[in-house]
Chain A
Amino acid sequence: MRPSVYIPVAVLTACIIAFQIIVSALNREFYLTQLTMSAYYSLVILGLTVLMGYAGQISLGHAAFFAMGGYTTAVLTTYNLAGAAGNPLVKLVVGLGLDTVSTNAYGAQTQHLSPWVSLVVAVCLTAAVAFLIGIPILKLKGHYLAMATLGFGIIVYRIVLGTRMFGEADGISDLPAFRLAGGLAVGGDPGLRVQNYYIAAFLLVAGVILLTNLIDSRPGRALRSIHGSEEAANAMGVNTARYKLSVFVLSAVFACIAGVFLTHFNGGIGPSEAEVMKSVSYVAIVAVGGMANLWGALVMGVVLNYLSLRGYFGSYDEFVFGCILIVIMLFMPEGLLIKENFRILADTAVRIVNKCRAGKQE
């Protein structure tokens, strides 16, 4: 980690801790619920920022990777092992100690696959799928790449909607909590709220550190060179195809991990998580954050998702995200959270204050 990253990471961590202390002191811990959810969505957005902003490759199918993570863990951890004790595969799983026993909402004990296993399976599956579809589609550029990823997103959505195993239009409910080490658990119980907030925040900070390091490294410079000009990068000996594919897989894995954790936190998942509009809203947030600006994407990801999940946009939710995308693309392709805008804001504030002062003196 470069020393210049220490300060923002320290500030972020301080903000996270301060917010929790303040809301707990005010007895308003319920704010943390939506903040935790937003943090997971922001993890998707961070991955997408590196892909879009730094490597210059668009993806309109990231909701699909999120859904792959969520649905994989949902299917695997809601399957009752006790009901199929004779199956050799189930015997092997139980024999290896990969099962967990949880108590469901109705007080009954269920024996199911450990979420750790489903997390590993989900990550491997998503990485494999991203790798396989990445090879052909990352050869495309611009609109064609957008179309191909959009197509992939729609395919995943239709599969989820039409498969009985995935609960069709109803999705999957009643997931067990994801027990991490030392009494920590990812789950929807109100008693777990504070620790869930910190688990999500930890993943988010870890994600930021990882990605800033990546961007500042040799592969990071290669990625930026691809964004600048793929031909020039190629000519300088950068293996563009390999770098593009790796960053695509990496960002898919980020989405997948977010999907696994959020699905356990929510206790269920539905096909709406795989919808195309979801992918579009991720892209919109990356654009507002400023494309090649991890911190901007992080802040806007948390803020916009938080407002959306608390229902501030009401029935205009998709409309708001659509408008944001259009306005930002038209007037601020650099994003909202860039130094210039802060300067404009500061200038305006100073001018208003000065005018007020002048007005008083007269």
Chain B
Amino acid sequence: MSFKKILVVFVCLAFLAVAVSCKKKSGETIKIGAIFAVTGPASFLGAPEAKTAQMIIDEINSSGGVDGKSLELIIKDSTGSPEKAISFAKQLIEENKVFAIIGPSTSGETMKIKAICEDGKTILLSCAAAEDIVNPVAKYVFKTPQKDSYAAEKIFEVMKKKGITTIGVVASNDGFGLAGKKQLETIAPKFGITILIGEVYDKKATDLTGVLTKLKANNVQAVVNWSIVPAQSIVPKNMKQLNMNVPLFQSHGFGNIKYAREAGAAGEGIIFPCGRLLIVDTLPDNHPQKAVLAKYKKNYEGKYGEDVSTFGGHAYDAVMILVEAIKKAGADKEKVRDAIESLKGFAGTGGIFNFSVQDHNGLAIDSFDMLTVKGGKFVKYEDK
């Protein structure tokens, strides 16, 4: 048989295998769908989220499940593409008849499936940050990450105390950067702060001296960089090179110790808002989040051998909120939805969740702490 013949037969067999592999599981399980950008440009969000969700579901199942039933997690990789998220959401709701959907990782995808979940009366616990997800409030749509506007407000509070009134903003050209820039521009006037110049750079940029020179020429009193990409380590280095001795503020995207390591000495003194996951060791023992954070960090780092990130925490919160609601209300979609809406004082990795009919995010501004880099480590920022 020639190689070509083998290939033809092989291709046919591959199709058969795919067709056969769609097996059905049954039994007393609660199906939970998950749509994460495990690969693709948003994989820095989706990969830790998928790992976290799988880890917790496994933990819960090995300790006897919820409400007498075990949980079945169906993870779909959307690669960050809205059209796939749409297809998967419809598939999960109509075909797999899932109890709830966790994710998607990005705001664009969440906005595309918001109406689909609302129509399908399926609970959606989004891991994306945009405010539009919960404003206007859709009955079945919730989200776990803190609002971008809180991060911006936290930054401006510190600036006000330091007497800074004129700033320059740089942001990456991806969804995270652009949404943050928009929030900064909207909120700045409330704090009496003027944004003299706002610049956008490519998310793959490796040198930002050009952009920063423009900021320097405007004599800004502080720089805010809003992004999630490695440029966060380049900005402080370039500022040193340009001899810009003004404070650098970054977004909660900086909440990954590897960025601080990359920046090295130039990174010292960067101020940024962040959830408490990264400073769990320095939290007092009586802090309501301490136990949750320490457990998540220990389990995740033990299982996957990589540093924990706040993004995985969003998936942790989403799954735990759902599980908590199922424990309270039993395996009934409508009752669980009501239970989530009335959940108060729930300690997650992102903060203390207090949901209500109007607030489907449940986090207040105190869910962010201001952190700074000191001696190559993240520590809580103290006003001087």
Residues of A within 8 A of B (CB): 30, 33-34, 37, 105-106, 161-162, 167-171, 173-174, 188-190, 262, 266-273, 275, 303, 307, 309-312, 314-315, 317-318, 327, 331-332, 336, 341, 344-345, 348
Collect the chain B residues with CB atoms within 8 Å of residue A168's CB. Answer: 175, 178
Do B115 and A267 touch (CB < 8 A)? Answer: yes
Known: A30-B95, A332-B4, A344-B8. A188 touches B107 (CB 8 A): no
Q: Say how far A327's CB is from chain B's closest CB, in angstroms.
A: 7
The 5 A-B residue pairs with the shortest CB-CB distance, nearest first, are A169-B175, A270-B82, A272-B81, A105-B115, A170-B108
Do B77 and A314 touch (CB < 8 A)? Answer: yes
Main secondary structure of the interface of B (DSSP, over half): helix
| Interface residue? B80 (CB, 8 A) | yes
Collect the chain A residues with CB atoms within 8 Å of residue B106's CB. Answer: 169-170
Main secondary structure of the interface of A (DSSP, over half): helix
Do A169 and B87 touch (CB < 8 A)? Answer: no
Do B38 and A266 touch (CB < 8 A)? Answer: no
In the complex, residue of chain A having the shortest beta-carbon distance to the beta carbon of B9: A348
Give the residues from 6 to 31 in chain B that come closer than 8 angstroms, CB to CB, to chain A: 7-9, 11-12, 15, 18, 21-22
Do B79 and A171 touch (CB < 8 A)? Answer: no
Known: A30-B94, A171-B82, A331-B4. A161 touches B173 (CB 8 A): yes
Q: Please measure, in the bound complex, the distance between the C-alpha atom of A30 and the C-alpha atom of B179, giving whole angstroms.
A: 35
In the complex, residue of chain A having the shortest beta-carbon distance to the beta carbon of B74: A311
Q: Say how far A203's CB is from chain B's closest CB, in angstroms.
A: 18
Do B175 and A170 touch (CB < 8 A)? Answer: yes
Q: Say how far A176's CB is from chain B's closest CB, in angstroms.
A: 11
| Interface residue? B84 (CB, 8 A) | yes
**Per-residue A-contact encoding for B145-167, CB less than 8 Å = 1, 0 else:** 00000000000000000000000
Do B83 and A273 touch (CB < 8 A)? Answer: yes
Q: Say how far B93's CB is from chain A's closest CB, in angstroms.
A: 9
Number of B interface residues, CB 8 Å?
Answer: 52
Q: List 13 A-B contacts (CB under 8 A).
A: A33-B91, A34-B87, A105-B115, A105-B118, A105-B119, A105-B138, A267-B115, A273-B81, A310-B91, A318-B39, A327-B7, A331-B4, A344-B4
Q: Please measure, in the bound complex, the distance between the C-alpha atom of A331 and the C-alpha atom of B10, giving whole angstroms.
A: 13
| Interface residue? B278 (CB, 8 A) | no
Q: Please measure, in the bound complex, the distance between the C-alpha atom of A50 and the C-alpha atom of B132, giving whole angstroms.
A: 43
| Interface residue? B86 (CB, 8 A) | yes
Residues of B within 8 A of A (CB): 1, 3-5, 7-9, 11-12, 15, 18, 21-22, 38-39, 76-77, 79-84, 86-88, 90-91, 94-95, 106-109, 111-112, 114-116, 118-120, 130, 136, 138, 173-176, 178-179, 200
Collect the chain A residues with CB atoms within 8 Å of residue B95's CB. Answer: 30
Do B111 and A170 touch (CB < 8 A)? Answer: yes
Do B77 and A311 touch (CB < 8 A)? Answer: yes
Do A173 and B5 touch (CB < 8 A)? Answer: no
Q: Say how far B106's CB is from chain A's closest CB, in angstroms.
A: 8
Do A272 and B3 touch (CB < 8 A)? Answer: no
Known: A30-B94, A190-B119. A167 touches B108 (CB 8 A): yes
Known: A34-B91, A162-B173. A268 touches B111 (CB 8 A): yes
Q: Please measure, in the bound complex, the distance between the C-alpha atom of A106 and the C-alpha atom of B118, giving whole angstroms.
A: 9
Collect the chain B residues with CB atoms within 8 Å of residue A262's CB. Answer: 83
In the complex, residue of chain A having the shortest beta-carbon distance to the beta carbon of B7: A331
Known: A37-B87, A336-B11. A269 touches B82 (CB 8 A): yes
Q: Say how far A277's CB is from chain B's closest CB, in angstroms.
A: 9
Of A106, A267, A275, A345, the residue contacting B9 (CB under 8 A) is A345
Collect the chain B residues with CB atoms within 8 Å of residue A266's CB. Answer: 82-83, 86, 112
Collect the chain A residues with CB atoms within 8 Å of residue B12's CB. Answer: 345
Do B80 and A268 touch (CB < 8 A)? Answer: no
Known: A171-B108, A266-B83, A307-B18. A30 touches B173 (CB 8 A): no
Of B5, B119, B136, B200, the residue contacting A189 (CB under 8 A) is B119
Do A33 and B82 touch (CB < 8 A)? Answer: no
